[in-house]
């Protein structure tokens, strides 16, 4: 336990006793309300291990006024499985948001990494927290970037012209031309494609990951154990899966969910097989249009292998970006692998939620 300017920072020995306090803090510091289901799933049911929590409390009363979480994540670094933490849910009540306590809270995970508890940490702080990460020694690696493409124009025209009627007229005129210009119409399908409205990841996904996992760079483990937790039991949204098969063997998959009239792609694997990625993205477009969704979007780290295919299919960068920071323990720090942005193959499915 460390004390600074009337506050104490301590690692919580168990999750259940502080469950309600943590949920209340998240809801007090964010506009989007969460409940206990998110806590149970994200903090306790993660197959890579329970979350690690450091709390910030008032020294005189013991009131919890802030906390930070680290979510265990198995990662491949140059083909070797490593133990990592994903930084998540850094929360402080407004009256306690001063530099000293924030630094102490953020530094706690760094000290655990220095002690060898895990090999490295990565996180995606907002702009306000980015300076805190830098001050405690975390390195800015690069940017997560959202890419999107239009599937239907009706709602976009209605918003621009402030008229639902004109939106219907504009959509009726523009959408046929949009479909005629689709890149997927000029691409011959190479795989057998199947749709799965519900998420069930079986042993075939283990085989695919073992065969196609990158041997270089930094990459999150995507076996059936992780996929079933991340997408199959996720209480925050319902996921759908598209699979690609070659000679009756699983060759790749795409995971997406639907929010606010848009199709949100969470992951595509393997991203470095253009033919598979093209077939999966083309099917996502067809499915999205059948559901009358307005757009499709995918957030990936800069330099991701799938970017050329995204651009080919009309995905363009949007304004939404977030910074990614990392901190490596002694062994990985000396290798320099984590410091190079080009080594990271990260999607929105690898980050906190």
Residue with tokens 């998959």: 253
Report the alpha-carbon distance of residue 34 to residue 79 in Å, rounded: 36
pLDDT tens per residue across span 75-132? 999 999 999 999 999 998 887 777 788 888 889 999 999 999 999 999 999 888 888 8
pLDDT tens per residue across span 14-28? 999 999 999 999 999
pTM: predicted TM-score of the whole model, two decimal places: 0.90
Nearest Cα to Cα of residue 181 among 155, 145, 146, 153: 153
Got the DSSP string for 133-146?
HHHTTPEEEEEEEE
Mean pLDDT, residues 173-199 taken together: 75
Q: Is the dihedral of CA 259, 260, 263, 265 positive or negative?
A: negative
Residue with tokens 């065969």: 211
Number of H helices, E strands in the chain: 11, 14
DSSP 3-state assignment of 170?
helix
Report the alpha-carbon distance of residue 172 to residue 152 in Å, rounded: 10
Contact 101, 56 (CB under 8 A): yes
Mean pLDDT, residues 309-331 taken together: 93
Lowest mean pLDDT among 85-99, 145-159, 201-215: 145-159
Report the alpha-carbon distance of residue 180 to residue 186 in Å, rounded: 10
Whether the predicted pLDDT of 346 surpasses 60? yes
pLDDT of residue 281: 96
Beta-bridge partner residues of 92: 66
Report the alpha-carbon distance of residue 316 to residue 324 in Å, rounded: 20
Considering only residues 159 and 326, tell me which one the structure prediction assigns the higher pLDDT. Answer: 326
**Domains contained in the chain, CATH given:** 2-137 (3.40.630.30), 146-321 (3.40.630.30)
Q: Which of 47-51, 124-128, 319-323 has the highest mean pLDDT?
A: 47-51
| Confidence band of 140 (pLDDT split at 50, 70, 90) | very high
Q: Which helix (H) or strand (E) holds 335?
A: helix 330-335
| Peptide bond preceding 115 in cis form (omega within 30 of 0) | no
Nearest Cα to Cα of residue 297 among 284, 287, 308: 284
């Amino acid at each position: 336990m460390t004390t600074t300017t009337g506050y104490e920072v301590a690692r919580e020995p168990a999750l259940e006793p502080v469950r309600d306090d943590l949920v209340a803090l998240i809801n007090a510091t964010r506009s989007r309300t969460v409940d206990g289901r998110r806590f149970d799933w994200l903090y306790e049911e993660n197959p890579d291990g329970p979350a690690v929590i450091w709390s910030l409390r008032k020294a005189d009363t013991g009131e919890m006024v802030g906390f930070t979480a680290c979510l265990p994540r198995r990662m491949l670094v140059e083909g070797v499985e490593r133990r990592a933490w994903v930084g998540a849910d850094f929360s402080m009540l407004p009256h306690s948001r001063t530099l000293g306590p924030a630094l102490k809270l953020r530094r706690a995970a760094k000290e655990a990494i220095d002690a060898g508890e895990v090999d490295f940490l990565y996180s995606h702080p907002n702009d306000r927290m980015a300076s805190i990460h830098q001050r405690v020694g975390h390195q800015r690696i690069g940017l997560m970037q959202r890419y999107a493409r239009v599937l239907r124009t009706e709602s976009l025209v209605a918003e621009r012209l402030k008229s639902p009627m004109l939106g219907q007229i504009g959509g009726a005129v523009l959408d046929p031309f949009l479909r005629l210009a689709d890149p997927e119409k000029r691409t011959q399908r190479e795989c057998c494609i199947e749709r799965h409205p519900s998420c069930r990841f079986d042993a075939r996904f283990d085989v695919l990951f073992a065969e196609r996992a990158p041997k270089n760079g930094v990459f999150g483990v995507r076996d059936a154990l992780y996929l079933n937790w991340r997408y199959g039991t996720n209480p925050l949204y319902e996921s759908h899966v598209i699979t690609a098969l070659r000679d009756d063997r699983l060759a790749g998959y795409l995971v997406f969910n639907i929010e606010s009239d848009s199709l949100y792609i969470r992951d595509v694997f393997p991203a470095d097989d253009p033919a598979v990625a093209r077939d999966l993205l083309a099917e996502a477009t067809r499915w999205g249009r059948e559901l009358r969704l307005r757009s499709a979007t995918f957030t990936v780290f800069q330099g991701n292998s799938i970017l050329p295919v995204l651009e080919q299919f009309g995905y363009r960068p949007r304004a939404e970006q977030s910074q990614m920071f990392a901190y490596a323990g002694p062994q990985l720090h000396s290798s320099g692998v984590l410091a190079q942005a080009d080594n990271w193959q990260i999607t929105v499915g690898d980050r906190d939620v």
